[in-house]
Chains A and B, each alone.
Chain A
Amino acid sequence: MKFQIPIGPQHPALKEPISLRMTVEGEVIRDADIRLGYNHRGLEKLAEEKTWIQNIYLTERICGICSHSHATCFVQGVEKLMEVVPPKRGLYIRYLVAELERVHSHLLWLGVAGHEAGFDSFFMYTWRDREVVMDLLEMVSGNRVHYAINTLGGVRRDLDAGQKAKILEGVAVLRKRSEYYFRIGASEPSFVARIAGVGRLSKGQAESLCAVGPTARASGITRDVRKDDPCAVYDEMDFEVGTADSGDVLGRVVVRVKELLESYKIIEQIIRKLPEGPIAVRAPRKAKPGEAVSRYEAPRGENMHYIKSNGSEKPERLKVRAPTLANYPATIEMLRNGFIADIPLIFAAIDPCICCAERVVTLVDVRSGEEMAVRLSDLRRRAAGRGPNALPKRNAAWPL
């Protein structure tokens, strides 16, 4: 018996709305389809109406978890357009925050992977330890989530000696914990049984479907913007690109843990090598006409911003490509012939950030959302009124 299971737009495994439609036979998935558009905020259009400075904060809000990555990617590009070269110390602090953010994102992902596999203790412990790096980020930047440390021409906050010592301390704790989680993750039998061999993606498939980030690296592709297109700081750092050949969820766990350990290495190097000097230079308000392509290795994979300027205070066009969107075609391939039980794991393994991937249509922005109190009875009446004459989402018929 073939039937369709709707995963989303509202589903406990998805922290954000997206619609996956699985055609299953018994417990085996035969086909998968993906439908986006539930989380659009029209950022690309909005960016054309905001100044360069305002856009830093706008791009920061593309994603909550890797907020620094989009802002950095944007700032890198705009600095190129403005022909501003930030001072070394500023760059070092910028990429220090970037690596701390990578640590926080990967620890978060480890917990989520544990949760999706029903391993809640693992989830609780990793998230407990993630608080260490969250506190460090809060100390450095002044906020836990939106660090807002980037500005055109450098960063906004300096590091003092006490903060440096605290970061080193925190990193030492985290390294020990990460190594422990690696051992647990690789030796708890029920966990390994769930993730080994699940969601396989061969190297050829990963290449042709343009997968990025840990998803691609777990399939043996050594693509990492930090190595291939090193911006400013990374070519002075000693680190390796973590890869795995198995191409399954276990491989993606391994890649992320390896990246965690490399990030600790980079953070320590940055702190040790941190040069003296100013943290920012003044940037002009207008950029020269031109275009720039900016790439940045976010925790989930490569970010790419295409920025076009027309010489005014505002960008002519800002194209944002978030890593999650690039990984969707690969995800569909991974889901095929898997089990229903593997859907959350496979989907979580690309570390999806749906609000990153969707940012295009202007539907409702923060200010226009007209609020009103809706009584439950009203809601029910509306739902009943929707009935047969309302326009459903395509393919959204209830399958039974």
Chain B
Amino acid sequence: MATADTQTRRYQEPGAPGNAAVVNPDPRTVTGPAGGTGQGDVQTVDGQLRILTEELKLANADLRSEDRGNFCDHPPEVIKPFRAFWENFLNWARSESLWILGFGTGCGAIELRPLMTSRFDMYQYGIQGRPTPRQSSVFVIGGYASVKTMKRIVRSYEQMQGPKFVLGLGSCTINGGMYWDSYNTVNRLDHYIPVDVYIAGCMPRPEALLAGFVKLKEMIKRGECEGANRYAENFEWYKANQKRIIKNWDMPDYNW
């Protein structure tokens, strides 16, 4: 079995968003170096990007006014883990019951399928597919993310319930891979959603994917996969990055 070249991102204390390019001191105004395509400016209202209102509700400023009432306007929150033994037990359960969101975001989705077969038999690792983000805990980004799929990725990610884990599959998720200079490809996934495990390769074989899952399980057991909390913590930064590349933003600021 070939060994996968995996690159992990470790959980860091809240407030320090990994190796992200920018730490933004004022959540209301987001400026900073462009990731991804780097085209265009951040959409702003009154010259400023407004994610949260004075009452700390989601502004949902990009929605049409008649749609606003249809969506929840509560922003995501950081939820502290339990302590020690209990959290370890829960983490064990989480790692042994990984439910994948069955959403083929890129060409790598084809590599997911073999895991179901008798040859790879992901079930024996407690992994199984799930048709709805609500019930899934692992989001496998199957390859490059374009502007179009990014919107869906963000939406689906936000609709998963925490703790939730993201597996970036293939080189494209890391740096754009062979599409690195495409006008339409997102080069670096973790500027937009927190990624727990990257699996390098173009494309990585199912074995590599399995190896990535094993790695993810280890990390979960170690309590290192707190992507959901990281996302909540740096919500405005992520949102600003997302909005920079998604021009026709017709969804609420957080898709519950």
**Chains A and B bind each other:** no
Residues of A within 8 A of B (CB): none
Residues of B within 8 A of A (CB): none
